[in-house]
Amino acid sequence: MELTKEQQQILDGAQGETMAKIMKTLVMYGTTFGAEKMVPVTGKMGHLVTSFGLGVMKPVYALMDKLIAEGAVSKQKFTVDPKPLDKNVPSDFLKNLVFNKFMYSAQDSYDAQLEKLGLASKDGYSCTCYLDEIGNKPEKGDVLSWAESSAVVYANSVLGARCNRNSGIIELFGSIVGYVPYFGLLTDEGRKATWVVEVKTSKLPEAQVLGSAIGMKVMEDVPYIKGLSEMLGTQLNDAVCAYLKDFGAATASNGAVGLYHIDNLTPEAKEQGPALIAENARTYVIDDAELERVKAGYPVMWKDPDAKPKLCFVGCPHLTLAQLKEWTENVAAGLKRTGLKKVKIPTVFTAAPAVIEAFNKLPEAETLKNTGVVLSYICPLMYMNNPLAGKMPVITNSNKLRTYTTGRYYTSSEILDIITGGDRQ
């Protein structure tokens, strides 16, 4: 790899042994993917994927201590994925014991390490770091060092920033040294679409099912999507961005998509149009039957497939303020229709701390409280990723949560019916 004079000096130890090792790691990482140079990180903020203090991650804590002791902290402030624990989320004695004493026993000390390394704020824990309330919104063309897959695909596709799907720690190293290897989604060539997806459905598809279908088909490739903006619109307004947030998270988790282009909608597709499509790109046609086929193929991981759900999660990725308001109105209206006072299934809506703060100033906050829904800042995946919660029959409208846990997927309107009793079960 060809390094600049400054990069070579860092590698040779001019800024100390630790910085040299960090640079060496990034150079080796880039070389593996064929990078020929390192480029500066230009985004104002980083975003780390690891927010949870799992007791078993001892080598990570030792590494963090070493970085802090040697002053090798992040050059840029960063946000981080949501925390795993919140006492407001329904739990029982055994789970609390397992969560606090065994699983996430290092949470407090890890939080303190993150602060020393450059955490932007005590509230900077959310996968939707790019929302206005949180403020980590990159500019078009910015080069980033992020890892969280739902945030990376959003930054690349909706905001036009440039970031690879890095792993945890690699993204921190990029933020510390201020350079990332130049390959993949950082390059013009790597941003070309090798799939054309033709959406031919009778109505706007459920974002999470469309994303799932595309993710499972194209895997890590870049799709260019035609036919969607005709139904979704051609402006990136709040509602469209929220749709794309959920759609992108499903493409990134049901497959490994880091960037998608939507004809007439996303910034690069608006500028370059079909010129973004690579030669010999393959075609995938999605109609109503294909979406049905994909949804019907999701395995039910519950021990008893007929069990009554014990918990419902909505908000993976975290909900926007407008989504929170809409869900609140829909749940309240649903309960009014069925004559129930509270939701039938313990339900948790998740959103960023700053979004929750903004929501709590609105009249809808009281309405939501009255429905019995709990509002939390946690990551539902971190809550469920253990044998105790894994055995619970949990329902969700998140295809990411379904993919990584035993959670069962339902569309948003199905979830609404189930929790408000509209399903007449």
Binding site for ligand F3S (CB under 6 A): 81-82, 127, 150, 249, 316-318, 379-381, 400
* Residue nearer to ligand F3S on the CB measure, 199 or 379: 379
Nearest distance from C-beta of residue 376 to ligand F3S, angstroms: 10
Nearest distance from C-beta of residue 205 to ligand F3S, angstroms: 20
* Residue nearer to ligand F3S on the CB measure, 127 or 213: 127
Return d(Cα 154, Cα 318) in angstroms, integer: 13
The residue whose two tokens read 């619109």 is 233
Q: Note the helical H segments in 33-135.
A: 58-69, 93-97, 107-117
User: For the chain, how big is the Rg over CA atoms in Å?
Assistant: 22
Nearest distance from C-beta of residue 86 to ligand F3S, angstroms: 12
Helix orientation angle between 238-254 and 321-338, rounded to the nearest 10 degrees: 90
Return d(Cα 125, Cα 352) in angstroms, integer: 7
Nearest distance from C-beta of residue 148 to ligand F3S, angstroms: 6
End-to-end, the C-alpha distance of the chain in Å comes to: 62
Nearest distance from C-beta of residue 35 to ligand F3S, angstroms: 27
Nearest distance from C-beta of residue 380 to ligand F3S, angstroms: 6
The answer to whether the CB of 252 falls within 8 A of the CB of 152 is: yes
* Residue nearer to ligand F3S on the CB measure, 7 or 79: 79
Nearest distance from C-beta of residue 252 to ligand F3S, angstroms: 9
Nearest alpha carbon to residue 264 among 307, 233, 298:
233
| CB neighbour burial string for 212-239, b if at least 16 within 10 angstroms, e if fewer | bbbbebbeebbbbbbbbbeebeeebeee
Nearest distance from C-beta of residue 85 to ligand F3S, angstroms: 13
String of DSSP letters for 282-301: EEEEE-HHHHHHHHHTSPP-
* Residue nearer to ligand F3S on the CB measure, 82 or 181: 82
Q: From residue 107, how far is each of 61, 78, 81, 84, 186 by CA, in Å?
A: 11, 18, 13, 9, 33
Is residue 94 classed exposed, middle or buried when 0-12, 13-18 and 19+ CB atoms within 10 A define those classes?
exposed
The answer to whether the CB of 320 falls within 8 A of the CB of 242 is: yes
* Residue nearer to ligand F3S on the CB measure, 23 or 381: 381
Return d(Cα 109, Cα 354) in angstroms, integer: 23
* Residue nearer to ligand F3S on the CB measure, 196 or 379: 379
Return d(Cα 74, Cα 78) in angstroms, integer: 8
* Residue nearer to ligand F3S on the CB measure, 191 or 402: 402
* Residue nearer to ligand F3S on the CB measure, 182 or 260: 260
* Residue nearer to ligand F3S on the CB measure, 38 or 158: 158
The answer to whether the CB of 192 falls within 8 A of the CB of 280 is: no
Going 245 to 247 to 248 to 254, the CA torsion angle's sign is positive
CB atoms within 10 A of CB 374: 17
Nearest distance from C-beta of residue 381 to ligand F3S, angstroms: 3
Token code pair at residue 256? 């490994």
* Residue nearer to ligand F3S on the CB measure, 176 or 381: 381
